Structure 1
Amino acid sequence: MPINIPRDLPAKEILEKERIFIMDDVRAFNQEIRPLNIAILNLMPEKEKTETQLLRLLGNSPLQVHITLLHPATHEAKTTSKNHLEQFYKTFKQIKHQKFDGMIITGAPIEHIPFEDVNYWSELTEIMDWCKTNVTSTMHICWGAQAGLYHHFNIDKRPLDEKCTGVFTHTSLQEPIKLLRGFDDLFFSPHSRNTDVDLNEVKTHPDLTLLSHSEEAGVYLVMSKDEKFIFVTGHPEYDVQTLQDEFMRDKTKGMDAKLPEHYFPNDDPTRAPLKTWRSHANLLFMNWLNYYVYQETPYEWK
């Protein structure tokens, strides 16, 4: 799938080196094709890294995708330049009159804050409500998944005794589910969070379907019964070195950093980790785009 992104977006050069099929907006404009319009509400602090990670996964399918990057207007980013946001990002106010085929709401490292105390919570809930009628399918990731489960289905997050960090084995629970097509019975995905949601609350909720969980990391994949909302509590989009970077960052800050589980060979942080979740991550995003966005969205929104 060619990704249609701004010509000067920093992720473009990285993805081209990886031979990810992308095209800039000038070339895409001259193609007589209706692309999928995907919005990414990027709540992560290092936005440029997250852009690259998500665009890499969205580029693994045979259709053209047009990307709109969003950031909260009610929050001042501290680790992304104002120039980058002004050049490549829009706010909800600027796009709320539009319809989108899909939206991704990312995680954010703010699990310790009650939802209502997050300074952009009111804006985020407005966006999540708007998604019900203006977006064909919405994927929520990590904290974004917890926020969505809380807002839409009243399932609150709960603090963990210690951080859940590492690469964990997950089990596929439901068949036949289109989102799980091609999945192995066991697959891997990274997690990095200090809170989780209760497994029984998800399993017994009448409007939710639990698709996958991990014995160690808990709930992983959840879908609303109407299939409009997908919740991913881990980080399948992470690069191979992301957990390592987080671990070293916390150690440098003098924090009691927990070694990511099942990540470094023989739990030796001096050895390079292996990426064992690449195939699952690509399949997850490809299935979402194909079955829940492309095949469900109208050719012309009315």
Structure 2
Amino acid sequence: MPIRIPDSLPAHAILEAENIFVMTEHRAMHQDIRPLNVLILNLMPTKIITETQLLRKLSNTPLQICVDFLQTASYTSTHTDPEHLKQFYYTFDQIKDRRYDGMIITGAPLDYVPYEETAYWDEVCKIMEWTKTHVHCTFHLCWGAYAGLYYHYGIKKFDLDKKLFGIFPHQILKKTSPLFRGFNDEFLAPHSRATDVNVSDVAAVPELEIMALTKEGSLAIAKTKDSRQFFVTCHAEYDANTLALEYNRDMEKGLTSVDLPINYFPDDDPTKAPVVTWRSTGQLLYSNWLNFYVYQSTPYDIKDIK
């Protein structure tokens, strides 16, 4: 089924070229069904790339998905055309009285920055508090996952001795969970982070359950037992070249100590095109989240979300 986005959003043409069913607002207005309303707080500097990655994964859904994009008012991105932000993004004051079936809080390149020193930390805290009463199910991604675990449960992050960078195998701890419907017993997914949390700290919170770990034992996916909040540290939405672009960017900065991403380039040769081994993981993860934890349980009348 289609994903519903503004007609002129740059991702529209990209997704249509990939044969992904995208519905324009004009066409959607003539269908007598209630779409799922999803809000994306996009904290990434490369906003258009992140928009396209997430919309690609949200495209395989049982109903129309009406997506709104949220930016911070306390910090304005310097990497995105201001006209793009003006045309496609809301600020919190503009949507705070609305309710949403689902929300995604993205990552941000803030590995070594303490939360309280983040320019928009107070605003993100306000938004995360707001999700408790205005969003049926929230999907915290990468930095957003660590920020959510810290804000909601006081779980502190720590810096890794070495960046977790590449494609890693994962073990599923809750194999009967609808989140993993269609998954293999083990799955591959990208990581690109220099931050982690102690799994024991997550396990000690009665409201939380650990769903998946990397094979080395690092947290990959956790959620609340009432399934209203998800915390995902892997990037199953990444494009084929995302890690390559990051690696090349770091090399251009003169960071010669940067390691090659693990299990990514064939023969560890950065001149060779990466082979995507995580595409199905990404599609299943996001569609299962939408199908089972948003669509199946959200109130029909969106005003009943609380």
Q: TM-score under structure 1 normalisation? A: 0.98
Match of 1:285 in 2: 286
Contact 1:191 1:234 in 2 (8 A): yes
Count matched residues.
Answer: 302
State the alpha-carbon separation in 1 of the partners of residues 187 and 208 from structure 2: 22
Partner SS for 1:240? coil
Q: Identity of counterpart residues, as a percentage?
A: 52
Residues 1:207 and 2:207 are matched in the alignment? yes
Match of 2:258 in 1: 257
Question: Which letter maps to 2:265?
Answer: F
Aligned to 2:71: 71
Instruction: Tell me what 1:168 maps to.
Output: 168
Distance in 1, matches of 2:235 and 2:123, equals 23
Q: CA offset at residue 217 of structure 1? A: 6.7
Q: What corresponds to 2:111 in structure 1?
A: 111
The answer to whether the 8 Å contact 2:62/2:291 transfers is no
1:1-51 CA distance string (max 9 Å, x none): 211111111110000000111011111112111000000000011000000
- Counterparts of 1:176 and 1:257 in 2: how far apart (Å)? 38
Counterpart-to-counterpart distance in 2, 1:219 and 1:118: 23
RMSD between aligned alpha carbons? Answer: 1.0
Contact 2:155 2:201 in 1 (8 A): yes
Give a deviation string over 1:222-270, Cα, whole Å, max 9, x none: 0111210001101111001000000000100111322101111111111
Deviating more after overlay: 157-166 vs 198-207: 198-207
Please name the residue that 1:244 is paired with: 244
Q: Partner residue of 1:226? A: 226
**1:184 to partner: Cα distance:** 1.2
Q: Which moved more, 1:173-182 or 1:90-99?
A: 173-182
Matched ranges for 1:53-68 at <5 A: 53-68=53-68
Report the Cα distance in structure 1 between the residues aligned to 2:129 and 2:289, rounded to whole angstroms.
20
8 A contact 1:35–1:65 mirrored in 2 = yes
1:155: Cα distance to partner?
Answer: 0.6
- Secondary structure of the residue that 1:76 maps to in structure 2? coil
- Residue in 2 aligned with 1:294? 295
Kindly state the Cα deviation for residue 197 of structure 1 after the two structures are TM-superposed: 0.9
Residue deviations 1:152-193, cap 9 Å, x none?
111111001111110000010013212122221110000001
Over 3 Å off, 4+ runs: none
Flag the 1:181–1:293 CA change in 2: closer, same or farther, 3 A: same
Contact 1:164 1:217 in 2 (8 A): no
Q: Which residue of 1 aligns with 2:139?
A: 139
Question: Which runs of 5 or more structure 1 residues have no equivalent in the other structure?
Answer: none
Q: Secondary structure at the match of 1:51?
A: helix
Instruction: Please give the per-residue CA displacement for 1:42-83, whole angstroms capped at 9, x wherever unaligned.
Output: 001100000000000000123110000111111110100111
